[in-house]
């Protein structure tokens, strides 16, 4: 039991570093560049894991349609989600963006009811209501100037949460090896972010410390 609590604590601690780490990186590195590079490390980490566990042998059993499905899910739930979330982080404080981002469990419940036909119980309605009230309090009482970028950042975080909630529900309906599918998804993110970033951003050299941050984000998010 103590071991389980230890793992849970470590998981919460590691995830808690992500918003602050990403915010620091995005202050010097364009959003899509950071997303593309960190996604390459996510892909490489999963590739090494699959090589070690010999799960890579399963690559041949999936069809072009399967890989298209994996890529589509990766585009929706990882590329769009992270691209929008990174923009929100860039425009808001790390705490505000992170809290708004955690609307995704609510979106998960809503999409589960719509797509998977799961019943919305009274307790679920109360929980969602409390969460939405908290988001309203955060948005109104953040003390920030009401400029367009602030509200656009909030909107992007909310849309990002919706993308991830929908992705989570659609992913339940698939039956792929999770390590293989996530490897394909992160490769999709790296490619999409790189292609879009080339046309919309001016990429900058990455320093030694920033490389460590990229590796951290890439591995932890997996």
Residue (of 195, 194, 190) closest to 217 by Cα position: 190
Q: Count the Cβ atoms, other than its own, within 10 Å of residue 113.
A: 14
Long-range contacts of 199-204 (CB under 8 A, 24+ apart): 200/32, 201/30, 201/31, 201/32, 201/33, 202/30, 203/30, 203/33, 204/28, 204/29, 204/30, 204/33
Report pLDDT for 21: 82
List pLDDT tens digits, range 37-50.
Answer: 999 999 999 999 99
List pLDDT tens digits, range 18-66.
Answer: 777 888 888 899 999 999 999 999 999 999 999 999 888 899 899 999 9
Report pLDDT for 140: 61
Q: Count the Cβ atoms, other than its own, within 10 Å of residue 44.
A: 17
List pLDDT tens digits, range 126-178.
Answer: 877 877 777 767 666 554 544 447 788 888 988 999 999 999 999 988 989 99
Question: Which carries the bigger pLDDT value, residue 179 or residue 147?
Answer: 179
Residue (of 106, 99, 70, 69) closest to 85 by Cα position: 99
Confirm if 182 and 218 have CB atoms less than 8 A apart.
Answer: no
Mean pLDDT of the chain: 85
């Amino acid at each position: 039991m103590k071991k389980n609590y230890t793992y849970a604590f470590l998981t919460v601690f590691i995830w808690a570093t992500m918003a602050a780490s990403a915010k620091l990186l995005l202050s010097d590195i364009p959003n899509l560049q950071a997303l593309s590079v960190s996604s390459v490390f996510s892909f490489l980490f999963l590739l090494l894991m699959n090589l070690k566990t010999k799960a890579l042998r399963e690559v041949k059993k999936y069809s072009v349609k399967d890989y298209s499905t994996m890529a589509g899910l990766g585009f929706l739930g990882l590329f769009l989600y992270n691209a929008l979330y990174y923009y929100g982080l860039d425009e808001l404080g790390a705490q505000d963006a992170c809290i708004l981002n955690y609307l995704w469990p609510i979106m998960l419940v809503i999409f589960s009811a719509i797509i998977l036909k799961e019943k919305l119980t009274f307790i679920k309605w109360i929980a969602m209501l409390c969460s939405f009230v908290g988001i309203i309090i955060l948005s109104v009482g953040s003390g920030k100037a009401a400029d367009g970028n602030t509200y656009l950042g909030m909107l992007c975080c909310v849309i990002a949460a919706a993308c991830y909630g929908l992705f989570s529900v659609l992913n339940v309906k698939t039956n792929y090896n999770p390590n293989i599918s996530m490897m394909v998804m992160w490769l999709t993110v790296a490619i999409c972010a790189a292609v879009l970033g080339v046309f919309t951003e001016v990429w900058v050299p990455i320093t030694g410390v920033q490389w460590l941050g990229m590796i951290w984000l890439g591995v932890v998010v997996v």
